[in-house]
């Protein structure tokens, strides 16, 4: 395989950018870098193009979208025509985080997202916001939230509390819920909002409402359950609502076992969707509100046994909707996870981000433009549920293939069973230089992956960590793809880089460096540069020493395949700081 150390022209381009010597703006650099086959280090910094779409990634589309917004016109999201037909429609949003910082452009995102939704359909039965509406829960944030919702939402609102609504009040859950009711719910002016003054759930932070009822009992129940905190700073507790949930589900299911029932919780059920497997990331249903529960699955399993028609929507994790594990089935109850509506993503599970943050802290710079939601449709005739993932960035677009759920389907035939999808998943595909494709794991033949163009180079840079030499790798990401014949909408979510000292005999050596790097899968397509470039955070190299670097691609379902191997001699000594 013809893999090589990066050429001097590309090296000079990257060094100039690293050291701030490039005499053009960052957007212009991005375009030039892409044309040169090299992406900007650290990811794209998305500059404002217009007030209404300050976070939009593509300048031409952003300008067009801003002009349409200013003229009062609405443009349907790409790939989704204006909706028609006798469907019950509602949206699910989460993690608005008003007050989280100007760099997330919450005001612009909220206005743009609602305008995009009303370009898709004239009206919805409801917009449900599933917690973390604000960042610190002070009066100013609540006031801004209400202002933005009243100004931009046209259809009824239903809102549950997450963990952030409790932060100002510490462990005083009663005070936090009272403040939310007084400062948010009591001030909603959007017609038909379920918790507004005089409405059916006036001031209630937990509710059971019916949508789509034409007066003949054909509506569908939506149960909203807020996170609770009782006497401590333990904000993912729902245990004191178990009996209330049981009561509501029994009543709602009595109206027809073939009808879906919807439930909203900020935190997902444990060990279901992505990033729901650790304490603090999932809903906890223990009997003691002051002690984190050690058994998080028992209540979920109970509901699965009795209510397989239940579809539960959650947020909290900020996992992008591009992740195919944003929906979970397996035991009965469907769990569907929505992403952040107006804040940046947390890519904690897939590796090191573009700034060097480790697993658990990773928030890629290219994710600060995040704005996504779920659009839910129920067919009145069949009760079939279709969930479409909407990405509002730029002009808006549909993410992947809609999820279709039959609430009467036997549990063992549910299409999004995690075990089944893992079993069907296939290795990533790596393109040959001639354009043909093959599974990278099918052979160790280096000639199979010429198109990947794996490279290594060093560069002197000045950063917050001092003046030093850093090492980088790059590969042609547009030559590496998920094999979606196994699982549709699968993604290459990270690249594993292993580096070992070269053995003079040619025998394999044990890697001293083994790090995963989050791919650009969460970005809008136009921001996914054809060449993927990252600093080798935490690596130490000796000038004049021979090394072997092996890179693999990893999918969302854990299938890993070799992308390529590069032998190189380091032209500088690198003593990099450890990952942040």
DSSP string, 120-158: H-S--SEEEEES--BSS--HHHHHHHHHHHHHH--S-EE
| Residues 433/460, Cβ–Cβ less than 8 Å | no
Q: Of the candidates 382, 356, 385, 354, which has an alpha carbon nearest to the alpha carbon of residue 368?
A: 354
Q: Which residues contact 156 (CB under 8 A, 6 or more apart)?
A: 125, 126, 127, 190, 191, 192, 193, 194
Between CA 59 and CA 43 the distance in angstroms is: 16
Tell me the pairing of strands 455-463 and 466-476: antiparallel
Question: Are both 8-38+425-575 and 51-424 of the same fold?
Answer: no
580 residues of the chain, pLDDT tens digit each: 333 344 444 444 444 434 333 333 333 333 334 333 333 322 222 222 222 233 333 333 333 433 344 344 344 555 556 677 779 999 999 999 999 877 788 899 999 999 999 999 989 999 999 999 999 999 999 999 999 999 999 999 999 999 999 998 877 889 999 999 999 999 999 999 999 999 999 999 999 999 998 777 779 999 999 998 776 666 888 989 999 999 999 999 999 889 999 999 999 999 999 988 877 789 988 887 777 765 678 999 999 999 999 999 999 999 999 999 999 998 999 999 999 999 877 665 678 887 777 655 557 767 788 999 999 999 999 999 999 999 999 888 999 999 999 999 999 999 999 999 999 999 999 987 543 343 333 333 343 445 788 999 999 866 554 568 999 999 999 999 999 999 999 999 999 999 999 998 888 899 999 999 999 999 888 889 999 999 999 999 999 999 999 999 999 999 999 999 999 999 999 986 654 4
Closest by CA to 375, choosing from 403, 394, 408, is 403
DSSP-derived pairing of the beta strands 429-431 and 480-481? antiparallel
Cβ-based neighbour number of residue 86 at 10 Å: 9
Question: SS3 for 542-572, per residue?
Answer: CCCCEEEEEEEEEECCCCEEEEEEEEEECCC
Residue with tokens 């840079």: 461
The DSSP code sequence of 488-501 is: TT--EEEEEEEEEE
What is the predicted pLDDT for the residue at 503? 92
Q: Which residues on neighbouring strands pair with residue 163, listed in sequence order?
A: none
* CATH 1.20.120.1770 for domain 51-424: no
Residue 499: strand pairing partners? 513, 549
Select the CATH number that applies to the domain covering 8-38+425-575 from these four: 3.40.1010.20, 2.60.40.10, 3.40.640.10, 3.30.750.210.
Answer: 2.60.40.10
Span 184-201, pLDDT tens digits:
999 999 999 999 999 999
* 2: CB partners within 8 A, 6+ apart: 450
Whole-number Å distance between alpha carbons of 539 and 542: 10
What are the boundaries of each domain within the chain?
A: 8-38+425-575, 51-424
Could you tell me the two tokens for 545? 């020493």
pTM: 0.84
Average pLDDT of the chain is 82
**Is-contact 497 506, C-beta < 8 A?**
no
């Amino acid at each position: 395989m013809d893999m090589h150390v990066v050429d001097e022209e590309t090296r000079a381009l990257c060094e100039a950018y690293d050291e701030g010597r490039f005499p053009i703006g960052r957007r212009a650099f991005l375009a030039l870098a892409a044309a040169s086959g090299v992406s900007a280090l650290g990811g794209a910094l998305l500059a404002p193009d217009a007030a209404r779409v300050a976070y939009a990634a593509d300048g031409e589309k952003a300008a067009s979208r801003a002009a349409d917004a200013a003229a009062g016109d609405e443009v349907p999201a790409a790939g989704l025509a204006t909706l028609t037909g006798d469907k019950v429609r509602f949206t699910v949003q989460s993690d608005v985080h008003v007050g989280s910082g100007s760099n997330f452009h919450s005001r612009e995102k909220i206005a743009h997202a609602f305008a995009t939704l009303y370009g898709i359909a004239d009206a919805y039965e409801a917009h449900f916001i599933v917690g973390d509406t604000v960042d610190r829960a002070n009066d100013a944030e609540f006031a801004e939230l209400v202002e933005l919702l009243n100004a931009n939402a046209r259809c009824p609102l239903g809102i549950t509390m997450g963990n952030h609504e409790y932060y100002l009040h510490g462990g005083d859950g009663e005070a936090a819920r009272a403040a939310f009711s007084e400062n948010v719910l009591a001030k909603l002016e959007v017609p038909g909002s379920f918790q507004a003054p005089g409405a059916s759930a006036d001031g209630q932070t937990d509710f059971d409402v019916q949508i789509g009822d034409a007066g003949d009992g054909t509506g569908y129940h939506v149960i909203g359950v807020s996170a609770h905190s009782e006497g401590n700073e333990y904000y993912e507790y729902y245990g004191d609502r178990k009996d209330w949930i049981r009561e509501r589900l029994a009543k709602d299911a009595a109206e027809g076992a073939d009808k879906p029932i919807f439930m909203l919780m900020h935190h997902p059920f444990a060990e279901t969707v992505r990033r729901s497997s650790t304490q603090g990331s999932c809903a906890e249903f223990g009997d003691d509100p002051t002690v984190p529960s050690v058994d998080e699955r028992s209540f979920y399993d109970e509901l699965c046994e009795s209510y397989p028609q239940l579809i539960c929507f959650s947020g909290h994790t900020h996992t992008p909707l591009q992740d195919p594990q944003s929906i979970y089935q397996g035991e009965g109850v469907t769990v569907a996870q929505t992403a952040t509506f107006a804040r940046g993503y947390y890519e904690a599970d897939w590796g090191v981000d573009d700034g060097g943050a480790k697993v658990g802290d990773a928030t890629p710079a290219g994710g600060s433009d995040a704005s996504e939601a779920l659009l839910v449709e129920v067919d009145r005739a069949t009760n079939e549920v279709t969930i479409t993932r909407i990405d509002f960035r730029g002009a808006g677009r549909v993410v992947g293939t809609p999820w279709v759920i039959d609430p009467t389907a036997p549990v063992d035939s549910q299409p999004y069973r995690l075990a089944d999808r893992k079993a069907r998943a296939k290795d990533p595909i790596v393109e040959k230089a001639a354009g043909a494709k093959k599974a990278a794991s099918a052979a160790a033949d280096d000639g199979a992956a010429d198109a990947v163009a794996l490279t290594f180079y060093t560069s002197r840079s000045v950063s917050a960590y001092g003046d030093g030499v850093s090492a980088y790798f790059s590969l042609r990401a547009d030559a590496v793809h998920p094999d979606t014949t196994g699982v549709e909408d699968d993604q290459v979510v990270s690249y594993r880089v292993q580096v070992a000292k070269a053995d003079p005999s040619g025998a394999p050596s044990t890697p001293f460096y083994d790090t995963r790097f989050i791919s650009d899968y969460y970005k809008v397509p136009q921001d996914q540069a054809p060449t993927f470039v990252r600093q080798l955070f935490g690596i130490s190299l000796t000038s004049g020493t021979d090394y072997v670097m092996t890179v693999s691609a990893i999918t969302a379902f854990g299938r890993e395949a070799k992308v390529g191997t590069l032998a190189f001699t380091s032209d500088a000594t690198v003593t990099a700081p450890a990952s942040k």
